Amino acid sequence: MHFDLFSYIIIYFRTEDIFCILTAYYKNIKIKEKDGTIVKKRFSGEEAVDIAIFSDVHSNHVALQACIDYCMKKGITNYILLGDYVSDCPNPQKTMELIYVLKQYFNCYIVRGNREDYLLDYRKKGEDTWSKGSGSGNLLYTYERLTDKDFDFFESLPVYGIFDPKKAPGFEYCHGSPTSTTELLFGDKRNTKRILNKQKTGLLLHGHTHVQESFSYRDKKAINPGSVGIPWNYDGMAQFAIIHSGRTGWEDELIQIKYDKSQILKEFEKSGLKEYAPAWAALAMHTIRTGVDLSEAVLLKAMRLCEDELGVVRWPAIPEKYWAQALKEYYIDLSGKDIPRKE
């Protein structure tokens, strides 16, 4: 089925928001450059480019919709998508639908993340290493709900891109680092400085760590927009960034917004994801509720408990009882809620 822009707005937005969105969209005259960039001609005559940056959605389509709503009201028509679109939350097809609509009607520059790599590798290697359980059940659940269209889309994505518009300085973008979807770039770390030194441009956009930050080193900058879907810190508010072209380069705006967490949390209960990966789903729900990520700590604890009792541990085959025990030791129940601590 084909939708034009106005159909998209009517379908995806509340009635009371439509006037606000269309007003914002037509507030500026928009000129499409040859490179596809939408340049906004402001009333002052100054040309500007605004670009929204989304990363680490992790199938949280409710948070993604809230971020799109925000950008639509601002009249933003350029988007950078930095990977990890699916896994961890229920109903990945809903997230993919939003990405396809965004891609069809707006200017999107898209790379893949490590989760897309995991899913592609699993398909290529024979689909026989994941199983139900908190070790890999979340990935299996996601894999079984993706379509050939989704896999073809992931396969088509690069891991790194350079954006070089005529009306603003260029920049580079990736999920982890320009050469790896799994490399962690934290501000002020040695590898981050090394990579910035090698940059062809003065700005690198990256995700993966779920830590929203803007880090400057010498005359270059790295911006992590944070996570849309499994955000750390800020009480679990959805996170993204907008960069604005200015006379001296790009100005970054780090954004955190509230959204209806109850909607995505209800989907965990009804989607079957908790049956595939009970403890891992609980950890995702806990992070959504609180902005506190304990997934690595609980995983390591479950592995130690398994090794202590059985003498060996091999991911992902960690019996569920060790996951449950590890969750309990971190005061999290299987609904992702905090267990009250005794005084």
pLDDT, tens digit, 9 for 90 and up, residues 21-38: 454 444 443 444 444 444
- Please give the distance of CA 82 from its chain centroid, rounded to a whole number: 7
Q: What is the pLDDT of residue 8?
A: 52
The span from the CA of 152 to the CA of 116, in Å, is 11
pTM above 0.75?
yes
| Contacts of residue 324, Cβ cutoff 8 Å, sequence gap at least 6 | 278, 279, 334
Rounded to 5 degrees, φ, ψ at 72 are -60, -40
Q: What is the pLDDT of residue 2?
A: 39
Q: What is the pLDDT of residue 39?
A: 43
Q: What is the pLDDT of residue 9?
A: 54
Q: What is the DSSP letter of 135?
A: T
**What are the helix (H) ranges across 54-146?**
61-73, 92-105, 114-125, 137-145
% of the chain surpassing 90 pLDDT: 80
Which of the residue ranges 11-25, 41-55, 60-74, 131-145 would you say has the lowest mean pLDDT? 11-25
Q: What is the pLDDT of residue 15?
A: 45
Burial of 8 (0-12, 13-18, 19+ CB in 10 A): middle
Q: What is the pLDDT of residue 12?
A: 53
Q: What would the pLDDT profile of 310-334 be if each residue is shown by its tens digit?
A: 999 998 999 999 999 999 999 999 9
- Structure tokens given for 83: 């990977």
pLDDT band at 201 (very low <50, low <70, confident <90, very high): very high
Q: What would the pLDDT profile of 206-233 be if each residue is shown by its tens digit?
A: 999 999 999 999 999 999 999 999 999 9
pLDDT of residue 284 exceeding 90: yes
The span from the CA of 332 to the CA of 278, in Å, is 12
| Beta-strand pair 238-246/249-257 | antiparallel
Higher pLDDT, 16 or 188: 188
pLDDT band at 43 (very low <50, low <70, confident <90, very high): very low
The span from the CA of 146 to the CA of 70, in Å, is 27
**Which letter, b or e, does each residue of 73-82 get, where b requires 16 or more Cβ atoms within 10 Å of its Cβ?**
bebbbbbbbb
- Structure tokens given for 232: 């750390």
Q: What would the pLDDT profile of 90-129 be if each residue is shown by its tens digit?
A: 999 999 999 999 999 999 999 999 999 999 999 999 888 9
CATH number 3.60.21.10 is the correct assignment for the domain at 5-257: yes
Q: What is the pLDDT of residue 13?
A: 53
